Structure 1
Amino acid sequence: MACAMSCGGVAIAKSPAQPNKVLNLAFEAPDDGFDMVKTYNFYSGNIAEVIFEPLLKYDYLARPVVLVPNTAQAMPKIEQEGKIYTFKIRPGIYFSADPAFKGKARELTAQDYIYSIQRISDPKNRSPAFNFIDGKIVGMDQAVANANKTGKFDYDAPIAGLKALDRYTLQFTLTRPDYNFQYILAYVAFSGTAREVVEFYGDRVGQHPVGTGPYQLSKYVPRSKIELVANPEYRGFVWDFKSTGTAWDNKLVKQMSGKKMPQVGKVTVSIIEEEQSRWLAFKSGQLDFDKLTSNAVPQALNGNQLKPELQKQGIQHFPNKDAEITYTMFNMKDPIVGGFSLDKIALRRAISMSYNQTEAIKQLYKGQAVKAEMFIPDGVQGNNPKYRSSVGYNPLLANKLLDRFGYKKGKDGYRTLPNGQPLTLRYNTENSSSSIIHSELWKKNLDAIGVRVEFKVSNFADNMKEAMQCKYMMWGGAWIADYPEGENFAQLLYGPNSARGNLSCYQSKAYDALYDKAMVLLPEKRLPFYEQMNRQIEADNPWIVHTTRVRNWLIHPQVQGYKAHPMMNTTWQYLDVQPVKK
């Protein structure tokens, strides 16, 4: 474990960031605002992670991942075998200046964390993060029930399981032991939030994020550009992490040890959805680092090694197998592909068996991915590396299954529904070269079983909005671990989370019963239930589980300190930028 500053030690009075040090980056899809209570958009989370601060964070270098204090003075005092968590918050942490504070300095307190959890629990916010704490905090179920009855959440009513014992002491009392709870509290949605800010901006608070973290929003052009500058109120820290013994870590420790952080004074993020444009922007030096686009893999890599011409430019290569899965979702409320009748299950199963994962890995990811067997990925507790899916590529059997359940082929070669009506799938997608390849693969695979498909091209944020309202038919998704335990993935198909985290709107009594049984157990005893949940997914097919991707991060030589993290999406506060040598 890294100590000193990574464990919440010596702080610096004011941010040491230097305005002339700028990071230029890109996202391949737009955010949908930065109120993480109301979204789990990956790109929104990237920005929110450097604006807001949870009680705990992850050590930057340690692998396997290790939690360390952030705004807390120390790791929590845990009592009654994981039922009571008590935190001491460090005094002297301040929110960035904002008109909501009317010219006064605003200190972070225990109540700010209580308020965040209240907002997550408020039914009107329909928070996708609520599933992390649903049924876990003593008294919260009643508060939610009262809000549903009256139409308004009472933010001033006491909740037995959420207490500010004093200005800086915060205590959680859970309904049952939960050793994952401290990992949940490290997720950005559970950061301290100033009530004045939310009430000042109202529905616009997602465009006016105000936190205690190292950066603050300075410019925001939705779906185009985001600019952040160093938060002058941020306390700063000293880069003092311990190497895990790898050559990469040793280099970072040599470069960075002892530096006052953050060093970078400004971060600009451009939304560049087209892969070729993003690759050209990186090659020309307009982007300081980026993950290698699939189409550019042949140009940049020989096998898994960076090509010599890029090495000569000083470009660094950091391959990282994400703790993630990619998948295709069916909307279980859709009249064509949803439902649990045998003919609907047969249709989803046939579609699943039509998809050629091997070809997709070759064409879509240029070999930089591996087939996922479980809905819980490698690197997350609950994954069984010996597990094998019962649903494989088999277009011959898929055709027989559709024949058996009355999906007849017409003269044009395409099938109808059992009632004789036309069968056309609608697949939501985005406007990028990789999306075009994915669409072509889907059309080829579905043509082989006689199923017509149309593609609705939109953008990620709008597709997410439709999914949150259960108003789509099919869409591709990915989930990167927020914390290293299978619950983080299992909750994505839990019935009560429909239209929040559960974008398939899947409601299975069998799956939910397995989930409920698993959640009362210690994490290390949940594996058999996760395996049974996976079998239930294979039986009902609300998802088609696809791959885990390998992200090849390319970093220009002026960037120092970079290492991809399995749980943290944003590492800008740990980096330095040196002048570019001509």
Structure 2
Amino acid sequence: MLLVAAFAGSVGVATGTNPADPSKVIKMSFEAADDGFDMIRTANFYSGSVSEVIYETLLTYDYLARPAKLVPETAEVMPEISEDGKTYTFHIKKGIYFSPDRAFKGVRRELTAEDYIYTFKRVLDPQSRSVHASFLAGKIVGLDDLAAQAQKSGHFSYDAPVAGLQAPDRYTLRITLNSKDYNFLNIMAYVAFGAVAQEVITTYGAQSGQHPVGTGPYMLQTYVPRSKIILVANPEYRGFTWDFKTSTDAIDKQIIKDMQGKRMPQVGRVEINIIEEEQSRWLAFQGKQIDFDKMPQLAAPSVLDGDKLKPEYVGQRIQLQRIVDASTSFTIMNYRDPIIGGNSLDKIALRRAIVMAYDNKREVDLLNNGQATKLEMFIPPGVVGYNPNYRSSVAYDPVLANKLLDYFGYKHGADGYRSMPDGKPLLLKLAREQVTSSQEISELWKLGLDQIGIRSEFVVNNFADNVKAAVQCKLMLWNVGWTATYPEGQNFMQLLYGANIGQNNLGCYDSPVYNALYDKAVTLPLGPERNTIYLQMNRQIEADSALVLRTTRIRSWLARPWVKGFKKHPILHSEWPYIDVDKH
């Protein structure tokens, strides 16, 4: 099949070919802080959004195509795949260079196949403790053996050959898998596998997350952790011609009219401020201090008339795009926690009661102002494996939750709150952030838990630190979300796979039944049989009350009229290389 390359058109190899205009600036905000830009160490959404334009993967996604469609990024074309589906051969474009950095000692540094081999090895280096190790673990011939040797010796040999990672020449990368993996190409488009140079990691070590160096269109100029990020054009970036023609809706027609044939990127500077409070972000957008942002849910009644803008905003020529996020929000319940964790019937009953105490509809109606939908299954809409007819077997029902707790011996004390069956105090500690939206969800949680007689306490910390604690199985309960890193159900179901504890299984859930179903699902081709296994896995999540499934949001993206070419992508999160800014 002929695919439209993401960076299509004639690409020059001379230095300084980046066409970005320094006077064209995009100003925007993040609603939570990043966690640095070393992507082996973080699954933070905001870190990934910035890293997407610094590091380049072998493959990426077509900007306009819906559903999402893979296309080459640093690869010349889509890879050659062997008949048995286990060997992938990528041919890397010549003349791609890393952004200038002192790690290269004044020498232009070209991207080669060996850089990807180093990147993949680093993900499985036990010293890295990468949260993304699960994406490669068990997949590539010989790589796990090398990691096992390092685990024993305390030293990972990056120079040691790996049978499944070969570079026959400077620009050819051959990857051989242990078994066929139907999502492997999607994984190759994930930002965690964007090429890094070994010299950079050697130079900066543990500080590599604050000194990201890649081959992408932008590089980091200013970084004030948890406050401000400024990106500028990478002078070594080769540029591309805007040439996307794969979609025909009205928004796309205008985008194509505005953008077709332009040399990209056009934007020369991206300024990002961390603004956690919704009200503050909304005031910044109204004051034209932000060029595009998702509309805060608190603003929905004053901005929207159904699914359209009210006349006041139409008059300002503000652009509106409404999409259902390919994301899931949920509350983790730590399966290793001594109070709520474990597989005994009394612990399962306690978690089931907690699930039934949370009012999803109230979250949608009051907290989200109707700009969300209640989730019935862990795979959200827009992701392969989602079934619109699926209904959860566990619903909001505080009356039944109280009966369940009574039956399993969680007795009320004189103060109205329950104790454990052995008489010890029952206290739930829910982690949260300082922002208003997190406070509102906490209040909804307290209301529900009070109805079933469970005392609750809310521990405030910042988002990045909560992520780190959750990875280490240190949080009892925490409200969190996951946005699709590729558009297939495995991307969500792996968040509960036992082998991923310490990586992205933040609830530390470990069920032999669920794990066996997961192992079976990943061996099947994408399609009805695999999707049926996903349904069984969802039922197992409900049987174990492994988490509290909440909502997926309806996002209303607003852009000022001077922003051209903007369209929110379901997988990519950084539109800056694809858009333009009129002088204003």
TM-score normalised per structure 1: 0.98
Q: Secondary structure at the match of 1:46?
A: helix
Deviations 1:246-269 (A, max 9, x none): 110000000111111000010010
Q: Which of 57, 61, 68 lines up with 2:64 in the alignment?
A: 61
Counterpart Cα distance in 2 of 1:27 and 1:270: 6
Q: Which of 495, 501, 504 lines up with 1:498 in the alignment?
A: 501
Q: Secondary structure at the match of 1:489?
A: helix
Runs (4+) off by over 4 Å: 1-5
Instruction: Determine the structure 2 residue equivalent to 1:540.
Output: 544
* Structure 1 residues 271 and 156: alpha-carbon distance in aligned structure 2, compared to 1, 3 A threshold: same
CA contact (8 A) 1:243 1:250 kept: no
Report the Cα offset of residue 283 of structure 1: 0.4
Give, as a single letter, the amino acid of the residue that structure 2 aligns with 1:546.
R
How do residues 257-296 of structure 1 correspond to structure 2 at under 5 angstroms? 257-296=260-299
Are residues 1:448 and 2:456 paired? no
Deviations 1:166-213 (A, max 9, x none): 100000100111231111000011111100000110000000000000
Counterpart Cα distance in 1 of 2:142 and 2:8: 31
Are residues 1:565 and 2:579 paired? no
Counterpart Cα distance in 2 of 1:4 and 1:510: 42
Instruction: Determine the structure 1 residue equivalent to 2:312.
Output: 309
Report the Cα offset of residue 81 of structure 1: 3.3
Deviations 1:224-281 (A, max 9, x none): 0000001010000011111511110000000111111000010010000011000000
Instruction: Determine the structure 2 residue equivalent to 1:457.
Output: 460
Report the Cα offset of residue 342 of structure 1: 1.1
How do residues 311-326 of structure 1 correspond to structure 2 at under 5 angstroms? 311-326=314-329
Give the % identical residues: 58
Q: Secondary structure at the match of 1:569?
A: coil
Deviations 1:69-128 (A, max 9, x none): 110000000113321100000000000000000000000000000111001111221212
Instruction: Determine the structure 2 residue equivalent to 1:393.
Output: 396
Report the Cα offset of residue 472 of structure 1: 1.0
Give, as a single letter, the amino acid of the residue that structure 2 aligns with 1:11.
V
Instruction: Determine the structure 2 residue equivalent to 1:99.
Output: 102
Q: Secondary structure at the match of 2:314?
A: helix
Counterpart Cα distance in 2 of 1:550 and 1:109: 41
CA contact (8 A) 1:2 1:242 kept: no
Gaps (5+ residues) in structure 1? none
Counterpart Cα distance in 1 of 2:161 and 2:252: 47
Instruction: Determine the structure 2 residue equivalent to 1:41.
Output: 44
Instruction: Determine the structure 2 residue equivalent to 1:484.
Output: 487
* Structure 1 residues 359 and 71: alpha-carbon distance in aligned structure 2, compared to 1, 3 A threshold: same
Give, as a single letter, the amino acid of the residue that structure 2 aligns with 1:314.
R
Counterpart Cα distance in 2 of 1:64 and 1:360: 29
Are residues 1:577 and 2:571 paired? no
Report the Cα offset of residue 300 of structure 1: 1.2
Report the Cα offset of residue 8 of structure 1: 4.2
Instruction: Determine the structure 2 residue equivalent to 1:124.
Output: 127
Q: Secondary structure at the match of 2:389?
A: coil
Instruction: Determine the structure 2 residue equivalent to 1:528.
Output: 532
Give, as a single letter, the amino acid of the residue that structure 1 aligns with 2:555.
R
Are residues 1:551 and 2:549 paired? no
RMSD: 1.2
Q: Secondary structure at the match of 2:377?
A: coil
Instruction: Determine the structure 1 residue equivalent to 2:75.
Output: 72
Report the Cα offset of residue 319 of structure 1: 0.6
Instruction: Determine the structure 2 residue equivalent to 1:406.
Output: 409
Deviations 1:271-315 (A, max 9, x none): 000110000000000000000111111121122211110110111
Report the Cα offset of residue 334 of structure 1: 1.1
Are residues 1:173 and 2:176 paired? yes
Give, as a single letter, the amino acid of the residue that structure 2 aligns with 1:275.
E
Report the Cα offset of residue 7 of structure 1: 5.9
Give, as a single letter, the amino acid of the residue that structure 1 aligns with 2:445.
W
Are residues 1:112 and 2:109 paired? no
Counterpart Cα distance in 2 of 1:9 and 1:514: 44
Q: Secondary structure at the match of 1:445?
A: helix
Instruction: Determine the structure 1 residue equivalent to 2:6.
Output: 6
Instruction: Determine the structure 2 residue equivalent to 1:213.
Output: 216
Q: Which of 157, 161, 168 lines up with 1:158 in the alignment?
A: 161
Counterpart Cα distance in 2 of 1:269 and 1:282: 13
Counterpart Cα distance in 1 of 2:467 and 2:399: 34
Counterpart Cα distance in 2 of 1:289 and 1:319: 13
Give, as a single letter, the amino acid of the residue that structure 2 aligns with 1:424.
L
Counterpart Cα distance in 2 of 1:105 and 1:519: 41
Counterpart Cα distance in 2 of 1:86 and 1:365: 46
Q: Secondary structure at the match of 2:127?
A: helix
CA contact (8 A) 1:78 1:85 kept: yes
Instruction: Determine the structure 1 residue equivalent to 2:192.
Output: 189
Q: Secondary structure at the match of 1:111?
A: helix
Give, as a single letter, the amino acid of the residue that structure 1 aligns with 2:143.
M
How do residues 200-239 of structure 1 correspond to structure 2 at under 5 angstroms? 200-239=203-242
Are residues 1:371 and 2:342 paired? no
CA contact (8 A) 1:495 1:512 kept: yes
Counterpart Cα distance in 2 of 1:103 and 1:480: 39
CA contact (8 A) 1:2 1:241 kept: no
Counterpart Cα distance in 2 of 1:243 and 1:201: 42
CA contact (8 A) 1:8 1:70 kept: no
Give, as a single letter, the amino acid of the residue that structure 2 aligns with 1:261.
M
Counterpart Cα distance in 2 of 1:97 and 1:223: 25
CA contact (8 A) 2:329 2:480 kept: yes
Counterpart Cα distance in 1 of 2:2 and 2:360: 40
Report the Cα offset of residue 2 of structure 1: 8.7
Counterpart Cα distance in 2 of 1:6 and 1:410: 63
CA contact (8 A) 1:426 1:455 kept: yes
Instruction: Determine the structure 1 residue equivalent to 2:137.
Output: 134
Give, as a single letter, the amino acid of the residue that structure 2 aligns with 1:228.
L
Give, as a single letter, the amino acid of the residue that structure 1 aligns with 2:236.
E
Q: Secondary structure at the match of 1:136?
A: coil
Report the Cα offset of residue 469 of structure 1: 1.1
Q: Secondary structure at the match of 1:124?
A: coil
CA contact (8 A) 1:2 1:62 kept: no
Counterpart Cα distance in 2 of 1:293 and 1:221: 25
CA contact (8 A) 2:54 2:218 kept: yes
Q: Secondary structure at the match of 2:381?
A: coil
CA contact (8 A) 2:7 2:241 kept: no
Counterpart Cα distance in 2 of 1:167 and 1:244: 36
Give, as a single letter, the amino acid of the residue that structure 2 aligns with 1:348.
R
Q: Which of 246, 250, 262 lines up with 2:249 in the alignment?
A: 246
CA contact (8 A) 1:63 1:244 kept: yes
Counterpart Cα distance in 2 of 1:520 and 1:533: 15
Give, as a single letter, the amino acid of the residue that structure 2 aligns with 1:118.
K
Deviations 1:409-448 (A, max 9, x none): 1121111111112211111111111112111111111111
Give, as a single letter, the amino acid of the residue that structure 2 aligns with 1:291.
K
Gaps (5+ residues) in structure 2? none
Counterpart Cα distance in 2 of 1:534 and 1:153: 38
Counterpart Cα distance in 1 of 2:485 and 2:213: 22
* Structure 1 residues 542 and 355: alpha-carbon distance in aligned structure 2, compared to 1, 3 A threshold: same
Q: Secondary structure at the match of 2:321?
A: strand
Q: Secondary structure at the match of 1:6?
A: coil
- Report how many aligned residue pairs link the two structures: 580
Deviations 1:446-499 (A, max 9, x none): 111111111111110011111111111100111111111111111101111102
